[in-house]
A and B are shown apart, each in its own frame.
Chain A
Amino acid sequence: MSNGQDFEEIARERKTRRTVFYLTFAALTLIVAGFLIWKLSSLILPIIVGALLAFVFRPVKERFKIRWLPHEVQVLCSFAAIGLVLFFAFNTLRKHIPDEEQKLEFKVRLNYKLNEKYRQLVAKPAEEKSNAVAPLIENELGPLMDKFNQSIELNPEERDLFLKYAAGYNGKPPIEPKFVDYFRANQRTGKYVIPENAPDREGGPIAPAAAQPPTPGKGATLENKVSAWMLAPLIFIFLGFDNGQIRRFFIGLVPNRYFELSLTVVDRLDDAIGKYLRGTLTECFLVGLTLTVGLVLLGIPPGIAVAIGMVAGLLNAIPFVGTALALVIGVGYALIAENVRPLIPGLNPNDLALYVVILVVITHVLDDVVFQPFVLGSAVNVHPLVVVIAIIGGSLLMGLWGMLFAIPAVVVVKTAVATFFKELKAYRII
């Protein structure tokens, strides 16, 4: 056998060994990754959130460059600034997230106010004239109101707790007497529709719902969640320190044949996803700001307006569902709001819920006509049907977070597949 043939044989054997090694390594990596994802599933969301924040705010870090300042200090300074803004924003939000007492109070107020509005709607005129619309509304809305009352009413444990809070409990001041009156009025509220086998219409207080068993180990779960979420800022900061090393490491693993291809694909993906995420974030911010300003003008206290604006702005990232949730939150608060004085003259405070609906509609139109074309002009487009399926799929897999991340995930997959195949053809690999 000649030297040339020997060399070819060695090269062939080496190639076979390399292929076997790569395949074994890939299989092992997949198995280990799958096992880790399964076991550490609670860490996935904080990691994704931290990584996304680092990715979204990367341009801020890159723009903040002072030549004589070490890279790490620059990153810390820029991220400290971002962290402060986020901290104040979420602190404002946290202050207005209701605690146990406020939740009970809100439920009572919402139950009372909604029943009050309903009774006003179906009430017969004082001068005994026949109201043709009222029975129609009663027939249509009555069952809905019954269902609503049933879903929002306090269970026996909650009632006991409310009465404790009403007298002052757990170091908290007593609940306002007005809301205690609301509670008693709610207790007296009967069903609006007579059940077929019911003995009488005013059948006393509604039967209490079955007491829910206490959730075991709730404190421990919360503790685990808090410690898992500590990862998010850590990932955010450490990815911020990265100066392209992670990208270089992964590009370094790519075979020579795909080197330029991988650079192009990674770059295009980075660009498309970055444009989409930053565009969506800007859009959410603008929607949140519009709602906040609108709610302040309608007379809602600034703190609560900021909290509602923030939540609605964040939820706006979920197409279709976001607007509906913003409407529910806004109208929900408008229904329980008391002593509201709109800053716009001529508005009737009793119609606050209607004004909130109009505000949400105006914001939605502004979002569609001005914000989206302006900030998402050149970003990736996703078909509405895909959006709907992705949102439903996301909600089934991961609940609200799944809905929030469904569209970014679709954008990542769509851009990756499209770019990858386009470049594979351009590089004559397929």
Chain B
Amino acid sequence: MSTRNLVADKLLWETLERWKRSTPELDRIQFLKTVPFFDQLSNRQLKSVSDIMFERTYDADESIFEEGQPGAALFLILDGKVAVEVLRETSTTRLAVLQKGAFFGEMALLDETPRSATARALEPTRTLALYRNDLTGLVHRDAKTACQIYRVLAGMIAERLRLTNELVQMKTPALD
């Protein structure tokens, strides 16, 4: 980070801290710092991301998105619990239960492919949503921040691909 950016970042943070005018905004930035998706970003960059996020509140048992719907946004859990499930004709398979700080639906940041699972709030839950086209818009306004987010996303997809490959290799019988 250049000296100018460092100074701007420090000034912004100090001003926000001193004024305490926007506690929810500060809380949100502090929260984003703890999420692996954004932990590489500076405070100024986190503010840029925070500015384009939507806060949504879900009741217990309310669906956040459903399997097969086109994906549009990544969700971060601010508070509460979310179950990620795959619904079949006769049964429901719970893939994971996510808690505060976890994120899901990240593939929607890349394209509009249908959701591969259903996300449902298990208890009253607050989330932050990052819409795909807002992130694309950030590329024009703050290319560095957007690039860092995309790099983390690419790293996560590569990691998943590696794990999938390992799983396939383990399940495929040796040819010789």
Contact = CB atoms under 8 A, between A and B. Distances in A.
A244 interface: yes
B36 interface: no
Contact of A428 (B4, B55, B68): B68
Interface of A: 62-63, 65, 67-68, 243-244, 248, 251-252, 256-257, 259-260, 263-264, 267, 423, 426-428
B5 to A, nearest CB: 8
A256 B64 contact: yes
B54 A256 contact: no
B73 to A, nearest CB: 6
B129 A259 contact: yes
B65 A260 contact: yes
B72 A257 contact: no
B49 to A, nearest CB: 13
B66 A428 contact: yes
4 interchain residue pairs of minimum CB distance: A260-B72, A263-B131, A267-B133, A426-B70
Contacts of A248: 54
Interface in B113-167: 129, 131, 133-134, 137, 140-141
Interface residues of B, number: 28
Contacts of B141: 62, 65
A65 B54 CA distance: 23
B111 interface: no
Given A62-B140, A68-B4, A427 B69 contact: yes
Nearest to A257: B63
B51 A243 contact: yes
Interface of B: 4-5, 8, 51-52, 54-58, 62-66, 68-73, 129, 131, 133-134, 137, 140-141
10 contacts: A63-B140, A248-B54, A252-B55, A256-B62, A256-B64, A259-B73, A260-B71, A260-B73, A267-B133, A428-B69
Contacts of B129: 259
B133 A427 contact: no
Contacts of A251: 54
Contacts of A243: 51
Of A252, A256, A427, most buried by chain B (CB within 10 Å of CB) is: A256
Nearest to B70: A426
Contacts of B65: 260
Nearest to A264: B72
Interface centre among A67, A248, A251, A260 (most CB of B within 10 A): A260
Contacts of A256: 56-58, 62-64
Nearest to A271: B133
Contacts of A252: 54-55
Given A256-B62, A259-B73, 8 more contacts: A62-B141, A67-B5, A256-B58, A256-B63, A256-B64, A259-B56, A263-B54, A263-B133
B84 to A, nearest CB: 16
A248 B133 CA distance: 14
B121 to A, nearest CB: 9
A209 B21 CA distance: 71
A65 B137 CA distance: 13
Determine which residue in B58, B66, B72, B141 has the highest number of CB atoms from chain A within 10 A of its CB, and name it. B72
A260 B131 CA distance: 8
Given A260-B69, A263-B72, A426-B70, A68 B62 contact: no
A427 B137 CA distance: 24
Given A243-B51, A263-B131, A68 B68 contact: no
A263 B62 CA distance: 19
Most buried by B among A65, A257, A264: A264
A22 to B, nearest CB: 16
A312 B64 CA distance: 52
Contacts of A427: 69-70
Nearest to A65: B141
A263 B66 CA distance: 16
Contacts of B73: 259-260, 263
A366 to B, nearest CB: 32
Contacts of A244: 51-52, 134
A305 B4 CA distance: 50
Contacts of B63: 256-257
Contacts of B51: 243-244
Contacts of A260: 65, 69-73
Which of B70, B140, B141 has most A Cβ within 10 Å? Answer: B70
A255 to B, nearest CB: 10
B46 to A, nearest CB: 15
A259 B58 CA distance: 11
Contacts of B56: 256, 259
